[in-house]
Amino acid sequence: AQTVTQSQPEMSVQEAETVTLSCTYDTSENNYYLFWYKQPPSRQMILVIRQEAYKQQNATENRFSVNFQKAAKSFSLKISDSQLGDTAMYFCAFMIQRAGSYQLTFGKGTKLSVIP
């Protein structure tokens, strides 16, 4: 079974600063996908970034980037130039890349507060 661990229940960051959210996972699979989803107070789940395990290059999306360390099974999210709108719960999620397996396994989330 796959597990996803987010060790930081809550974090805060000053506006315009940089923050890194941690995520580790456990799997015996070699091919998989990793995701970060954002859930603001509206509860809408919004995809932030996606990483394919076979790609060595770390994914980036504007101010969001990941540090993917496959050997260490680590997938951290870096938010640069934090904005008030980044205040949300952030969930790390994992999916096996295999036909017939479509389940996203989520961590428990990290609550991020951006302080003005």
List contacts with other proteins (CB under 8 A). Answer: 4, 33, 35, 37, 42-47, 50, 91, 93, 95, 97, 99-109
For residue 92, the minimal CB distance to other proteins (Å) is 8
Given a contact cutoff of 8 angstroms between Cβ atoms, the answer to whether 107 and 4 are in contact is yes
Largest CA distance in the chain: 46
First to last CA, the chain: 41
Least Cβ distance, residue 16 to other proteins (angstroms): 29
Closest CA relative to residue 110, chosen from 60, 75, 80, 73: 75
Minimum Å distance from CB 30 to other proteins?
A: 14
Q: What is residue 109's three-state secondary structure?
A: coil
Choice between 18 and 40, CB closer to other proteins: 40
- The minimum distance between CB 36 and other proteins, in angstroms, equals 12
β-pairing, 19-21 vs 10-14, is unpaired
| CB-nearer residue toward other proteins: 7 or 101 | 101
Select 46 or 115, whichever has its Cβ closest to other proteins: 46
